Structure 1
């Protein structure tokens, strides 16, 4: 048995239609099991739920010992990044299709959550990326990402040209629509649609994936995660960089994007018997049966 919990933070995709009764039902279920519940303040304010205290993320990190996130992978990404420094373990309940990191279906949350809240669960830790944008040696932007850091061309411009360095070594000059630096978690997101491989979350590595490269020989490469990756804008107008959902547009020639492993990790909790491979089978619709 693992740790039992006492105070749960509840977070929801408050823009979703019909989310309020779902959140109230989950909150009542958790309190019936003898735990305290607080809502993330923005969730409480936008749903109008007043039966439970609304707290800031900092207050949730200080007072709660578990967070339940109701929504999809996008909702989880945003909250996980905001809570990375708090060290709060996260459980994901998916309202729609099964997500990669929100893996409990809304239809089965009761039978999944009850043993987990009593301390019977699987835990895994996911690495994060962090980095900055340097202009003339000064940092003008800093970001944290669970999925990926993406440098891409402007909306109306031609390709962007990037110089890529890993550690102290020059790797390549790439002309492409952009470049993705993805964590193992992000390997099943944008990087996958751009032709990158899937990395198991336990692998200590990053993906570097060109987006629609001009040269067919520019292929995705798996990098060690203990060095710094540097992407410098050589050519191309109005390029942008995204750290998950944090964006900086209108990069200039000479701007340098640095990416490295963050000191923070995300802790995800799953029901007993959870399998990463089973998640891939369901999400990617891989053949499951045997003849």
Structure 2
């Protein structure tokens, strides 16, 4: 269903706090005016995005937005996704950041993307997240020491049954999407996004559980801080709370928590293969060559043949 479907449309904007996004905002403003759509943004963003962008609370943003446009990199995209967890709201990412694993559209491609969005010429790609005591994390949830170099002691229970403990630098719970981030750096496995699982990986384990354990969508995981001092809890890399001694944290997988707009899933997958190769996944030179766009390969061939 496109934006010409007859319903009132409210486009929610989420912008990178520092990177320049004015060009994309101007295009979206023209698009919204032509379609009779309303523009909203968080109260902290609206003033710098323009007088016609209305500032709203997070609750009103989630309730009113019929589509969300994220202007930034993966961090901005994750923030936009967290705003509409559990809703069918489509989220379109425009890459004003760096690698952008989650973001498909470049600023130069935005006019075409908006036209296709109008026509309904796109598909929705569902993404799961972790629910951590009611808060969402699309990549990972991490328990780590409050002080530098401090280890954490964490008990693990699954579905109410005690299964062991961790003594390590940090414990990482991740989704398949987030498995290529901190989990991967800590030696954990790369998980296919098609598998509805969450994984727990210890970072620099000393004693206790020292291998990654993978749990299903119905498993309820509880992590209890057994350290003598508070631990830090980070959701998608953001310090969100402290976990006091003897306090617990509930973690479960929330399937299909949000829908991302995809115009060309194959192209997006190829781009992500290039980005993953930057993380030193093993690819031979001939496999890397296959990832180069065909027009660039043809241009290089013409230059070599001169």
Could you tell me the TM-score, scaled by structure 1's length? 0.83
Equivalent of 2:191 in 185, 199, 213 = 199
The Cα of 1:172 is off from its aligned counterpart by 2.4
Query: How far apart in 1 are the matches of 2:273 and 2:256?
Result: 29
Number of the residue aligned with 1:71: 72
* C-alpha distance in 2 between matches for 1:35 and 1:212: 54
SS in 1 for 2:289: coil
Moved more, 163-172 or 144-153: 163-172
Structure 1: distance between partners of 2:263 and 2:147: 42
Q: Distance in 2 between matches of 1:189 and 1:106?
A: 25
Q: 1:21 to 1:272 in 2, by over 3 A?
A: closer
Distance (Å, rounded) in 2 between the aligned partners of 1:93 and 1:184: 22
Distance 1:36 1:159, change over 3 A: same
- 1:151 to partner: Cα distance: 0.7
Structure 2 portions without partners, runs of 5+: 278-282, 292-306
Cα distance change, pair 62–12 in 1 and its aligned pair in 2 (3 A) = closer
**Computing the radius of gyration over CA atoms, which structure comes out larger, 1 or 2?**
2
More off after superposition, 251-260 vs 50-59: 50-59
The offset of 1:187, in angstroms, is: 1.4
Matches within 5 A, 1:37-186: 37-42=38-43, 44-132=45-133, 142-156=134-148, 158-186=150-178
Change (3 A) 1:196 1:144: same
Seen in structure 2, the aligned counterparts of structure 1 residues 61 and 48 have a Cα distance that, compared at 3 Å, is closer
Is there any run of 5+ residues in structure 1 with no aligned partner, and where? 133-141
Q: Bigger relative contact order, structure 1 or 2, given CA contacts below 8 A and separation 6+?
A: 1
Q: Is the contact between residue 149 and residue 169 of structure 2 (CA under 8 Å) also seen in structure 1?
A: no
Q: 1:113 to 1:273 in 2, by over 3 A?
A: farther
Note the C-alpha offset of 1:85.
4.0
Checking the alignment, whether the CA contact within 8 Å between 1:149 and 1:241 is kept in structure 2 is yes
SS of the equivalent of 1:109 reads helix
Partner of 2:25: 23
- Say whether the 8 Å CA contact 1:5–1:119 is kept in structure 2: yes
Matched, 1:243 2:239: no
Q: How far apart are residue 113 of structure 1 and its match?
A: 3.3
Q: 1:62 to 1:290 in 2, by over 3 A?
A: closer
State the distance in 1 between where 2:36 and 2:181 align: 34
Question: Structure 1's 276 and 227: CA in aligned 2 closer, same or farther, altered over 3 A?
Answer: farther
Residues 263 and 122 of structure 1, relative CA distance in 2, 3 Å threshold? closer
Shift in Å, 1:94: 0.8
Is the alpha carbon distance of 1:119 and 1:72 closer, same or farther for their aligned partners in structure 2, counting shifts above 3 Å? same
Structure with a larger share of its residues in strand: 1
More helix by share: 2
Stretch of structure 1 that moved more, 94-103 or 255-264? 255-264
Q: Normalization by structure 2: what TM-score?
A: 0.80
